[in-house]
Amino acid sequence: MISAAIVGGTGYTGIELIRLLSAHPNVSLDLLTSRSEAGTRADEIFPSLRGISDIVFSDLGEDTLGALQKCDVVFFATPHGVAMKQAEALTQAGVKVIDLAADFRLQSLTDFEHWYQQSHACPELLKTAVYGLPEVNRAKLAEALVVGNPGCYPTTAILGLKPIIEKQNTQADRLIEPRIVIDAKSGVSGAGRQAKLALNYTETTDNFKAYSVEGHRHLPEIEQGVAQLLGSQFTHRIRFLPHLVPMIRGMLSSIHMEMTEAGTAIDWQQAFENAYASEPFIDVMPKGNYPDTRSVRASNRLRIAIHQDNEHAELTVIVVQDNLVKGAAGQAVQNMNVMFGLEESLGLNFAPIVP
């Protein structure tokens, strides 16, 4: 059994981790921390856990740090800046760390400091961190001590672009023009479990809005994914615009590109089907079928549809996922499975919830 701990288990990704790890056949969830809820049972805060987990929140103090060092893996479901202050001590004790915040996503310290307004606490450890996208980084994840779990939007963007960039890298000529537009929408849970006026029921219900129009901190993560993770041989200009939609969970990203003449000669439907044929959690929809967010709700599935319009040289990729599962906690568990040499889909093979 893998001894696991969750630091910061009172948010939406935290409860998803508790739900998933409590049902995992190879995991014992031994420690759960929260400064605000120390001494409280998790099922008192989240009644959905009654009969599933009776674990009690502990405070994150010196005694708790010693207990964390005895675990096999520690998940950080905390705000940005927390994991990097604890990671060195944990890895020195041989503990694997999976951070669901942004501390270990961006390799550029300049980008990290600009977008997250803080200096990195362990830049040397950051150099060894692995970006936690199994469909791209599976081999590196198997050897990783520290994993930066991807952001929810970048997961849809990078996986939506992966077959295109990989196909383009095999060609002498460009297949798509430099400009890529990512029009993304997320449910309100993506903003976290916090009391903010802009997120209350009256403000979000029967409403739909764009936000961070001037620039979003997931943009450098997407750019890093295309340029470094996917190793694009061509430079791209990416416009990323997120929107908040009046639903609790779910994410849909539409990726718009203009094809070159060489790009129109490619059967992109077949290219996507070939690229993801062996991936357990990526479903490429049949031609002419388009996914909705309900089709992946509460699951670790990510569904992709491709629309190729050769007459107008336009290519559109539509990606949906549950932002709390494949976009966060489910992907973290998938990463853990790879890190410990387990079957990648272990503890994650559950059908989406409909309606």
What residues are labeled active site?
152
- Residues 6 or more apart from 44 whose CB is under 8 A from it? none
The 3-state secondary structure of 237-276 reads EEEEEEEECCCCCCEEEEEEEEECHHHHCCCHHHHHHHHC
The 3-state secondary structure of 204-229 reads HCCCCEECCCCCCCCHHHHHHHHHHH
CB 82 within 8 A of CB 60: no
Token readout for 125 is 């450890």
- Which helix (H) or strand (E) segment holds residue 333: the answer is helix 330-339
CB 184 within 8 A of CB 252: yes
CA separation for the pair 108, 89 (Å, rounded): 23
- Which helix (H) or strand (E) segment holds residue 29: the answer is strand 27-33
- Select from 205, 106, 87, 202 the least CA-distant residue to 154: 106
Alpha helical stretches, state H, the chain: 12-22, 42-45, 62-68, 83-92, 109-116, 123-128, 134-141, 152-168, 201-204, 219-224, 261-264, 268-275, 330-339
- The number of beta carbons lying within 10 Å of the beta carbon of residue 9 is 27
Task: Report the DSSP pairing between strands 209-210 and 237-244.
Answer: antiparallel
Report the amino acid identity of residue 249.
R
